[in-house]
Structure 1
Amino acid sequence: MISVLLGLASAVGYGAADFLGGIAARRIIAMLVTAVAALAGVAALTLAAPIDGGVWHLETTLVGFATGVTSCLGIWLLYSAYARGPMTTLAPVVAIVSTVVPMSAGLLSGETFSPLGWTALVIGLVAIALVSRPGAGERTRAHRVDVIKAAVAGAFLGVLYIHLDSAPLDAGLTPLTANRISCAVLAFAIAGVLAWRSRGVHPVDVGGGGGAADAVGGVVRDAGGGGVMTVTATRVDTRRSVVIAAAVAIACASGLLDASANTLFLVGLSFGDLSVLSVVSGFYPAVTILLALLFLGERPSRLQTMGIVLALAAMLGMSMA
């Protein structure tokens, strides 16, 4: 029972972290959100280290640093897709692909695949096709490029799951900590380069069909809408500071939730089986979808809703395979 509760808590953490990361990426560039979230995760994992008691292994740490590169790209693509695409239709794509990748790695290493697993895989592919269909309104329309971003993001995140699964049992959270450190360093470096290349960009026209310029000072994605309004440089700087501060706070919350979810998952392993935890925590896309429905007003079409349900069913099947 305790393992189920911990798995459920981790699912809530994962789903909420993805949602908040997407919200932050609608205000500042996705790479900066990735950097801040990763750094917040490092802080949380460092605080949890004495409780975790994980042992640092040289090979595992080096691989953790290497997977930090793929995680950085995966999280960036995820937030970039969420920044303009509907989370209700993109979250299932990320979840299914991130599950299929480690499953495929297991097959290549000689593991067997049950009929349930193959059935779930087919259902998952059908689900992706359904959720990727154009929605009835702008809030449910997933552009092809965003679906591709979500799929590639899932593939990159699946690489991290392979690494965590292969790490020694006594490593604890150390592989994830190394991963987040590498991700934070790379993401901050890239975000810094982007900000430097965009230095001196201070648009004064806000609005025009749903938002301001795509970048203000290299980091702000959207400063609001509602018509064209000429503002002074001081007001632009003030608005920019408020937008950045709010987005950074949201990104920090995303990183803390993600790290907390991973910690809860690890603790859950000491109370129950991995299979049970995988099934329960695997429903994290449902949390992202629910939050998008409640707070963003996204309303998927009937076919998309069917695809979302099939995606959750596929996740359950693949977790039990």
Structure 2
Amino acid sequence: MPGLAFLALVSSLLLGISDYLGGALSRRAPLIVVLLGSQVVAALAIAARLLVDPFRPDLADAVFWGSIAGVAQAIGVAALFRGLAIGTMGVVAPVSALSVLVPVSVGLASGDAVGPLLGAGLALAVIGSVLATGPELERQRPPAAGDYAYVADTRRRGATLSIVLALIAAAGFGTSQVGLARGAAADLTTTLIISAVVVLAIYIVAFSAWIHIRLRTAAAQLHRGRPAMPALAPTRIRPRDYAAIAAIGMLVYLANAAYGTAAQSGALSVVAVLASLYPAVVALLSWRLLGERLRPVQLAGVALTLAGIAAIAAGAA
């Protein structure tokens, strides 16, 4: 179990980095471009597994659970990236960490044994992962009249939407974790490939719809005699942005592979918790690179998370 716990923690680290990159990049590049580009890279990386491990379409469980995981992941990643882009990462990330409740509930319902020490570690890890990035504790003051009122109201609505998106992401990630774990029990490669193909198909459809909408909008503006932005290039995507998109795809693939490997033999309720500690990574990166400050409650969350990991390792040994 210690080796499987390490893989789950690696999955958390990789997901935290990819989520930070995705959220930060989606603030200046179209979300669907980030999603589709990164998924193309992830799909190519997964396809490379076929050189060493065959695809088994005859395994109904792997195909079924891979499809479930793919749909859930597509929704979860899109919701999280958008939430991180329009909201405060220190609010969105911990809310999305509630995803762990889905696989933990399924694992416990399936008979995963949880002793006192392991149970305490799970509780500490869940609480710590939520507190690590700290919800916004400051209450917004009522806005005054004028432009400030409009700006404050817009920010308030954006913050509310980001939390709703984080909850959607939590449901998506939790369901995806269950799907990957169940599918990996039949065949990991088949599950990963099916999941990647489903995600890619969803993003291609979404990208096509986005292009169609932008073309119609530009045509309507030109028809009215107004200048229209280039429909296919609303913002300039720099070379380093493309590199970041590719990195996101590779990190997501490696994270899913590490999680699927750990879930093949480890208790789902334990592996899922350790793989859901990515908010702490997002918090540290946003603090270091974006200047977001860690509050006392966030520092307490980091301490609880580390204590929970230690208790889980001791209880699962």
Q: Same fold (TM over 0.5)?
A: yes
**Given the superposition, is the C-alpha separation of residues 89 and 49 from structure 1 closer, same or farther in structure 2, using an over 3 Å criterion?**
farther
- In structure 2, what is the equivalent of residue 16 of structure 1? 17
Would you say the 8 A contact 1:136–1:301 is kept in 2?
A: no
- In structure 1, what is the equivalent of residue 136 of structure 2? 133
**Given the superposition, is the C-alpha separation of residues 148 and 18 from structure 1 closer, same or farther in structure 2, using an over 3 Å criterion?**
same
**Given the superposition, is the C-alpha separation of residues 4 and 68 from structure 1 closer, same or farther in structure 2, using an over 3 Å criterion?**
closer
**Given the superposition, is the C-alpha separation of residues 280 and 123 from structure 1 closer, same or farther in structure 2, using an over 3 Å criterion?**
closer
- In structure 2, what is the equivalent of residue 163 of structure 1? 179
Superposition pairs for residues 217-256 of structure 1, below 5 Å? 240=234, 242-243=236-237, 246-256=240-250
Would you say the 8 A contact 2:62–2:186 is kept in 1?
A: no
Find the aligned partners of 1:66 and 1:269 in 2 and give their Cα distance.
16
Find the aligned partners of 2:274 and 2:65 in 1 and give their Cα distance.
28
What are the superposed Cα offsets for residues 39-90 of structure 1, whole Å, 9 maximum, x if unpaired?
Answer: 2111111113323456442342133224322211111111011112232343
Would you say the 8 A contact 1:36–1:184 is kept in 2?
A: no
Superposition pairs for residues 76-95 of structure 1, below 5 Å? 76-95=78-97
**Given the superposition, is the C-alpha separation of residues 158 and 3 from structure 1 closer, same or farther in structure 2, using an over 3 Å criterion?**
closer
Q: 2:170 aligns with which of 131, 145, 154?
A: 154
Number of residues of Structure 1 aligned to a counterpart in Structure 2? 287
Would you say the 8 A contact 1:87–1:292 is kept in 2?
A: yes
- In structure 2, what is the equivalent of residue 220 of structure 1? none
**Given the superposition, is the C-alpha separation of residues 251 and 62 from structure 1 closer, same or farther in structure 2, using an over 3 Å criterion?**
same
Q: 2:203 aligns with which of 184, 187, 203?
A: 187
The two structures, once aligned, show a CA RMSD in angstroms of 4.1
Secondary structure of the residue that 1:242 maps to in structure 2? coil
Deviation for aligned residue 1:135: 5.1
**Given the superposition, is the C-alpha separation of residues 5 and 162 from structure 1 closer, same or farther in structure 2, using an over 3 Å criterion?**
closer
Secondary structure of the residue that 1:196 maps to in structure 2? helix
**1:91 alignment partner AA:** A
Secondary structure of the residue that 1:27 maps to in structure 2? coil
Would you say the 8 A contact 1:10–1:260 is kept in 2?
A: yes
- In structure 1, what is the equivalent of residue 39 of structure 2? 38
- In structure 1, what is the equivalent of residue 252 of structure 2? 258
Would you say the 8 A contact 2:64–2:183 is kept in 1?
A: no
Would you say the 8 A contact 2:95–2:166 is kept in 1?
A: yes
- In structure 1, what is the equivalent of residue 52 of structure 2? 51
What are the superposed Cα offsets for residues 91-119 of structure 1, whole Å, 9 maximum, x if unpaired?
Answer: 23322x22110111233445555555378
Confirm whether residue 176 of structure 1 aligns to residue 192 of structure 2. yes
Deviation for aligned residue 1:246: 5.0
**1:133 alignment partner AA:** E
Deviation for aligned residue 1:257: 1.1
**Given the superposition, is the C-alpha separation of residues 168 and 185 from structure 1 closer, same or farther in structure 2, using an over 3 Å criterion?**
closer
Higher helix share goes to which structure?
2
**Given the superposition, is the C-alpha separation of residues 315 and 174 from structure 1 closer, same or farther in structure 2, using an over 3 Å criterion?**
farther
Deviation for aligned residue 1:256: 0.9
Q: TM-score, normalised by structure 1?
A: 0.71
- In structure 1, what is the equivalent of residue 213 of structure 2? 197
Would you say the 8 A contact 2:107–2:267 is kept in 1?
A: no
- In structure 1, what is the equivalent of residue 74 of structure 2? 72
Give me the identity figure in percent.
24
Would you say the 8 A contact 1:32–1:188 is kept in 2?
A: no
Find the aligned partners of 1:252 and 1:87 in 2 and give their Cα distance.
22
Deviation for aligned residue 1:177: 1.8
- In structure 2, what is the equivalent of residue 210 of structure 1? none
**1:65 alignment partner AA:** S
Secondary structure of the residue that 1:298 maps to in structure 2? coil
Find the aligned partners of 1:4 and 1:113 in 2 and give their Cα distance.
15
Deviation for aligned residue 1:157: 0.9
**Given the superposition, is the C-alpha separation of residues 100 and 314 from structure 1 closer, same or farther in structure 2, using an over 3 Å criterion?**
farther
Find the aligned partners of 2:272 and 2:306 in 1 and give their Cα distance.
13
Q: 1:300 aligns with which of 291, 294, 300?
A: 294
**1:42 alignment partner AA:** A
